[in-house]
Structure 1
Amino acid sequence: MVRAPSTPPPLPVVLLLLLLLSLPLGAEEALPVESRLANSCLQARKQCRAEPACEAAYQHLGSCASGPSSPPPARARSGSGSRSEELAGLADCLQAARRLRNSSLPGCSCHRRMKQQAACLDIYWTVHPARSLDSDVCLKFAMLCTLHDKCDRLRRAYGEACSGTHCQRHVCLQQLRTFFERAEEPHVQGLLLCPCAPTDRTCGERRRNTIAPGCALPSTTPNCLDLRSLCIGDPLCRSRLADFQIHCHPRDILGTCATEQFRCLRSYLGLIGTAMTPNFISSVNTSVALSCTCRGSGNLQEECEQLQRSFSRNPCLVEAIAAKMRVHKQLFFGDTAASVFPEMEAQNESPAVRLQPWVPFLFCCTLPLILCCGLW
């Protein structure tokens, strides 16, 4: 017996089936958009209201300034009382942000055409500053320095000497040297070698401005060899440059460093405030360089470029800075550091990374394959 060909179901039936298949199991009716989105700020806010600690932290964060930052060193202060109040308020905001870290609010989002979009965005922008504030280790080290009398006094001194129209470069450099020589090493290294997420330009700019580049660096870019000659003509700068060349010098093609990392960092920091003051080149990575050029070097071009590379492509210096930043990151975030700085290691990558023996090199080659294949 010949079977009659089956007729396809009407289009409305097909659409209804597709709609039913798209709903979660057990759903009896179409859910509103904000309920279907697990990471909606509206849903996250509702969950937070049910938890007294989360609600209190959210309310406190809402009263904080939307863009907190540390007061610049040269900023005039009306007195120690107002400064203490400002720092106390900033510390409270940091604490509120920290309490919200384990809630669903920091990762919430809003979407176009959703219901109550304005309310959702209000929640997002209340919480969003907490993410950058909570990961801004440079801000935290600036606060620690300000709360320490000696560090604060020395930092304000170079801040005033290096500020705006009052800048006299030789005075600025002298005050910078005084700060890096006399302030406690943890404060000095914390301010200059604090880790920032690559997308956090505010944090990176605060780190770069630790050396007050507007005043401490030459107004016009000199030739690097002329800069070295100027340094050699000054006994202090000459000795510190020699110290840097000894302790931050790779002694073989494998990039093996001559001395320990802490000696390299100390010699690097010792150059700050001299004619050879190095600094971070931008607010988005940890590459450092001298403020000079090799244009016009003539037949000394290679020698000039080698001097530049001793800072910008120096494997000993790159790894020493990266290692110290990892220590600072671990200090504040512990086991959560990887989630707070998911791209931190990317900004430390450089062509100057030290060559390793074959086993670590093999591991570096196979790790991306493991991650791509989902075998980790």
Structure 2
Amino acid sequence: MTLTCPLLCLPGVPHVVLSAGGRDCLRAGDTCSSDDSCSPRLRTLRQCVAGDGSMKLGPGARNQCENAMTALLSTPLHGCQCKRGMKREKNCLSIYWSLHQSVLHGLSLVENYPYEPEERGSDYVRLASIAAESEVTTVNRCLDAAKACNIDETCQKLRTEYVSACIQPSARSGPCNRPKCNKALRKFFDRVPPDYTHELLFCPCTDTACAERRRQTIVPSCSYEEKDKPNCLAQLRDCKQDYVCRSRWAQFQYDCEASEHSASGCKRENHGSCLLAYTGLIGSTITPNYLDNSTSNVGPWCSCAASGNHREQCNDFLAFFHDNVCLKNAILAFGNGSDVKTGASQPGMSSPATDNQSPHLATTASGVSMETEQNVLRAEIPTQVNGNDRLWGDEGASTLPSPGLLDHGPEPVHLSMLLILGLPILVLLSQP
């Protein structure tokens, strides 16, 4: 069952008051840690969800855990959220899951999703000016998307970074450094506007060569492929052990939930949010990608062959990709320009595009106003924190480290032109 605050705002239970922006879990956690009533309850609950509470808290563990949870549900910790790609994202999510993942005998506090809806407005004026510079009708939106990314400063920089990270051999890791590759991929999809990332990843293809280039967008040979496919449930267990991956998976399940009663196939009636949640999984242990040259046949690189008695559970996991009408319709709708429910208040919204009128038709960069690195930094202002005693540890090593601020090192511009047409070639050449 889902517990709600109005039923639990009991007399004597502390209510922590936050200023504007109080739904941020880092701010809510800081305020709680400085409150004499809230702090011990949060510490108790974190012990409860870290393992078997009875081992840590003694015979009265269950009651203590339930009381702590009940009290915290009347504070801003209940309902707080995080921002995808924010600085200290893992720390923020650890606070969210302390309250929303419970092992307390049937108490379920998992709400809709851990991330705030993103307000990413599309720069339609600038994109239109780029498109106007093209003197020919587009014949391949995937190539047009690569060209448009290559003349946008942020997109080109971060794409160059991940391609470089994913094709360079590593003395310690072999053909490539997979953790470094996946970190760069997450940074790209978290920092670059979906106007560019969605065009690169979901552009429609009509021939095999185009489809293979599209499949190679995230450099599968380094980012996730192995000789033998691992078990899907093992991958999912690893994902759920990491705050960021678990949160991206929860977001994907929410935004891409299918509905047979919806014309769009999506319960939320929002294709753009589903696509954005899908890209949030890239660079994780359950990274999805095209499984072949079909436009809508996507899924993670795993198998249910060795699932034993959990075969049905494994099949259900794969079905969320393979048989998800919401996800399939979202990808197809983006390709044919019939996206549903676009709006600035929802994440991942792009303007409808057709094969003859794409926002990414650019072939030259002259006269285009580029985003500066300073603008990119301002767009990702980290949440302010104070020096109060934390009820959670500093963000340490993680299978999904959250991206930091952009580096100021020299850009590897020698890869910039190869990003347009040569990514599949680079990937093939990098393989032994």
| Equivalence for 2:248 | 240
What whole-Å deviation, never above 9, does each CA across 1:123-163 have from its counterpart, x for those lacking one?
xxxxxxxxxxx522101100000011110000000001111
Is structure 2 residue 181 aligned with structure 1 residue 179?
A: no
Q: Report the residue type matching 1:290 in the other structure.
A: P
| Equivalence for 1:188 | 197
Is structure 2 residue 356 aligned with structure 1 residue 333?
A: yes
Cα drift, residue 264 of structure 1: 1.1
Cα drift, residue 265 of structure 1: 1.1
Runs of at least 5 residues in structure 1 that lack an aligned partner in the other structure: 1-90, 100-133, 336-376
Once residues 353 and 325 of structure 2 are traced to their aligned partners in structure 1, the CA distance between those partners, rounded to angstroms, is 22
Is structure 2 residue 230 aligned with structure 1 residue 205?
A: no
> Are the counterparts in 2 of residues 201 and 284 from structure 1 also a CA contact under 8 Å?
no
What whole-Å deviation, never above 9, does each CA across 1:310-356 have from its counterpart, x for those lacking one?
01110010001111111289444159xxxxxxxxxxxxxxxxxxxxx
Q: Report the residue type matching 1:148 in the other structure.
A: D
Cα drift, residue 218 of structure 1: 3.8
The 5 A counterparts of 1:1-376 are: 95=135, 98=136, 135-163=139-167, 165-166=169-170, 167-197=176-206, 200-219=207-226, 220-251=228-259, 256-259=265-268, 260-327=270-337, 330-334=353-357
Once residues 262 and 252 of structure 1 are traced to their aligned partners in structure 2, the CA distance between those partners, rounded to angstroms, is 19
Q: Report the residue type matching 2:212 in the other structure.
A: E
Once residues 166 and 277 of structure 2 are traced to their aligned partners in structure 1, the CA distance between those partners, rounded to angstroms, is 23
Once residues 294 and 271 of structure 2 are traced to their aligned partners in structure 1, the CA distance between those partners, rounded to angstroms, is 23
Q: Which has the higher contact order (CA 8 A, sep 6+)?
A: 2
Secondary structure of 1:162 counterpart: helix
Secondary structure of 1:289 counterpart: strand
Cα drift, residue 252 of structure 1: 5.1
Cα drift, residue 185 of structure 1: 1.4
Once residues 254 and 184 of structure 1 are traced to their aligned partners in structure 2, the CA distance between those partners, rounded to angstroms, is 28
Change (3 A) 1:157 1:312: same
Once residues 293 and 271 of structure 1 are traced to their aligned partners in structure 2, the CA distance between those partners, rounded to angstroms, is 18
Once residues 197 and 285 of structure 2 are traced to their aligned partners in structure 1, the CA distance between those partners, rounded to angstroms, is 19
| Equivalence for 2:376 | none
Q: Report the residue type matching 1:185 in the other structure.
A: P
Once residues 181 and 316 of structure 1 are traced to their aligned partners in structure 2, the CA distance between those partners, rounded to angstroms, is 22
| Equivalence for 1:110 | none
> Are the counterparts in 2 of residues 281 and 287 from structure 1 also a CA contact under 8 Å?
yes
Once residues 270 and 286 of structure 1 are traced to their aligned partners in structure 2, the CA distance between those partners, rounded to angstroms, is 17
TM-score by length of 2: 0.45
> Are the counterparts in 1 of residues 259 and 326 from structure 2 also a CA contact under 8 Å?
no
Question: What CA RMSD, in Å, does the superposition of the two structures yield over aligned residues?
Answer: 2.4
What whole-Å deviation, never above 9, does each CA across 1:46-80 have from its counterpart, x for those lacking one?
xxxxxxxxxxxxxxxxxxxxxxxxxxxxxxxxxxx
Once residues 168 and 211 of structure 2 are traced to their aligned partners in structure 1, the CA distance between those partners, rounded to angstroms, is 20
Runs of at least 5 residues in structure 2 that lack an aligned partner in the other structure: 1-130, 171-175, 338-350, 359-432
Cα drift, residue 249 of structure 1: 1.3
Secondary structure of 1:333 counterpart: coil
Q: Report the residue type matching 2:252 in the other structure.
A: F
Aligned-pair identity (%): 36
Change (3 A) 1:258 1:159: same
Q: Report the residue type matching 2:299 in the other structure.
A: A
Change (3 A) 1:190 1:261: same
Once residues 328 and 249 of structure 2 are traced to their aligned partners in structure 1, the CA distance between those partners, rounded to angstroms, is 17
Secondary structure of 1:135 counterpart: coil
> Are the counterparts in 1 of residues 139 and 355 from structure 2 also a CA contact under 8 Å?
no
Cα drift, residue 288 of structure 1: 0.4
> Are the counterparts in 2 of residues 137 and 203 from structure 1 also a CA contact under 8 Å?
no
Q: Report the residue type matching 1:233 in the other structure.
A: Q
Q: Which has the higher helix share?
A: 1
Q: Report the residue type matching 1:297 in the other structure.
A: S
> Are the counterparts in 1 of residues 168 and 177 from structure 2 also a CA contact under 8 Å?
no
Aligned residue-pair number: 205
Change (3 A) 1:146 1:217: same
> Are the counterparts in 2 of residues 261 and 316 from structure 1 also a CA contact under 8 Å?
yes
Cα drift, residue 251 of structure 1: 4.3
> Are the counterparts in 2 of residues 141 and 191 from structure 1 also a CA contact under 8 Å?
yes
| Equivalence for 2:81 | none
Q: Report the residue type matching 2:202 in the other structure.
A: L
